């Protein structure tokens, strides 16, 4: 069985308040983009996972894909598997690559072994693994609330535009990013902002992490400046960083210049 987990970007991200469980109440719009990993599994005598492509900062046995497999194995009769993951989506970049891998693993196991798990149940399983995993079950634009697991379909469609994604070799700690953000409840709802003309997003569609993260990593702020200087309709950081994206008219993109290395994707 083979599948191709894809990434996402965040269109706006509001941190509303800190919850009693230690998480933050947030509001964001997840939008799928076509940067893809490759995930494959076959029946085997022992379960193991082999990682290829980008070198991850965790041991193979700690990969979130195994968390997805073990969760379903605890509820259904599953055989041992030989799992291969080709990692192409940069990690620690705010693109949801790990969450996508886990969600796609849940779906692939459900399909291949005919477990008859409903879509709603798959989302519940995914949410138990990670805050934004549930999004990748439907894998369609959605307004996310709570920790990111409360999803409402969103009609936004950016297929007529070019999305340029820049992933610099900078690691932004999620813990540090949250420590620097200032929660704020009273503001216009993202579901209303996203309905505005895309050319107005620059002044109203905000990622709350940008202020504190840009203070720590000026190179990220510089990328956003370059995207706008080269006629991006909208530019922002995705999630808590470190990737940034620009939305351009079709067949246009920016020439990004920076001293540190980076990877570029077009969706």
Give 117-159 pLDDT, tens digit per residue: 999 999 999 999 988 999 999 999 999 998 888 999 999 999 9
User: Could you tell me how far CA 53 lies from the centroid of its own chain?
Assistant: 18
Structure tokens at 173: 């700690």
36-56 pLDDT, tens digit per residue, is 999 999 999 999 999 999 987
Distance (Å, rounded) from C-alpha 94 to C-alpha 157?
20
Closest CA to 127 of 142, 112, 111: 142
- Looking at the annotation, which residues are catalytic? 8, 132
Confidence at residue 159, expressed as pLDDT on a 0 to 100 scale: 95
Position 64 confidence tier, pLDDT thresholds 50, 70, 90 = very high
Structural domains in the chain, CATH included, are 2-153 (3.30.230.10), 161-266 (3.30.70.890)
């Amino acid at each position: 069985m083979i599948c191709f987990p894809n990434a996402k970007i965040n269109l706006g991200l509001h941190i509303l308040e800190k919850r009693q469980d230690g998480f933050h109440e947030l509001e964001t719009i997840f939008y799928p983009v076509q940067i893809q990993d490759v995930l494959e599994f076959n029946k085997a005598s022992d379960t193991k996972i082999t990682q290829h492509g980008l070198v991850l900062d965790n041991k193979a046995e700690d990969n979130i894909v195994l968390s997805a497999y073990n969760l379903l194995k605890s509820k259904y009769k599953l055989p041992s598997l030989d799992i291969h993951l080709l990692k192409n989506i940069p990690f620690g970049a705010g693109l949801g690559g790990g969450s996508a891998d886990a969600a796609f693993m849940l779906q692939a196991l459900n399909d291949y072994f005919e477990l008859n798990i409903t879509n709603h149940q798959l989302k519940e399983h995914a949410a138990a693994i990670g805050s934004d995993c549930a999004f990748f079950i439907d894998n369609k634009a959605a307004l996310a609330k709570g920790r990111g697991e409360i999803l409402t379909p969103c009609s936004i469609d950016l297929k007529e535009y070019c999305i340029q994604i820049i992933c610099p070799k900078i690691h932004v700690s999620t813990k540090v990013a949250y420590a620097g953000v200032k929660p704020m409840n009273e503001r216009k709802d993202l579901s209303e902002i996203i309905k505005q003309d895309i050319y107005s997003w620059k002044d109203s569609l905000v990622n709350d992490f940008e202020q504190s993260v840009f203070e720590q990593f000026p190179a990220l702020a510089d990328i956003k400046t370059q995207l706008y200087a080269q006629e991006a309709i909208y530019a922002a950081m995705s999630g808590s960083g470190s990737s940034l994206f620009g939305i351009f008219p079709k067949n246009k993109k920016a020439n990004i210049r920076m001293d540190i290395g980076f990877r570029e994707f077009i969706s």
